Amino acid sequence: MDVTERRAWDRVRSLRAPLGAAAVLAAAVTYLAVVDPHEPGHYPVCPLYYLTGLYCPGCGALRAVHDLAHADLAGAARMNLLFVFCVPVVITLWARWALRSWQGRSARTNIAHPAHLWGLLAVAAVFWVVRNTPFGHFLAP
């Protein structure tokens, strides 16, 4: 095997982690598309909701994934608006990870700036509080 072939195989091998993560995610989305979370009894209830009656930032995300898998953007937004806005962000971060892997950059390189992650955490906290108030009830699933 010459140097060019070896570099090509190294690039292909470097994509194992991003492609593996995409395959696992695709399998999960396929399962959620087939087994409807809108039907009671298919999935467990959110533990926070079960114990406190409060919606966490992730409540409704399984139903949102199901709705997105069936191309129902409005239905997904009604279930969990924050999740719907995060989908393009996650796809972008995955694409950056795959590109950096393809280029041979270290996996330890920051894919997202820490300030952006802290900002996302702050938005999730505000979303969590607002969706549990009377004036933010439209954000509840």
Domain count, the chain: 1
The answer to whether the Cα torsion of 5, 10, 13, 14 is positive or negative is negative
Provide the terminal-to-terminal Cα distance of the chain, rounded to the nearest Å.
56
Do residues 49 and 80 lie in contact, with contact meaning Cβ atoms separated by under 8 Å? no
Report the distance separating Cα 131 and Cα 100, nearest Å.
Answer: 37
Average pLDDT over residues 56-81: 96
Percent share of the chain, pLDDT over 70: 91
Q: What are phi and psi of 25, to 5 degrees?
A: -65, -40
The domain of 133 spans: 3-139
Name which of 9-13, 52-56, 86-90, 121-125 the model is least confident about. Answer: 9-13
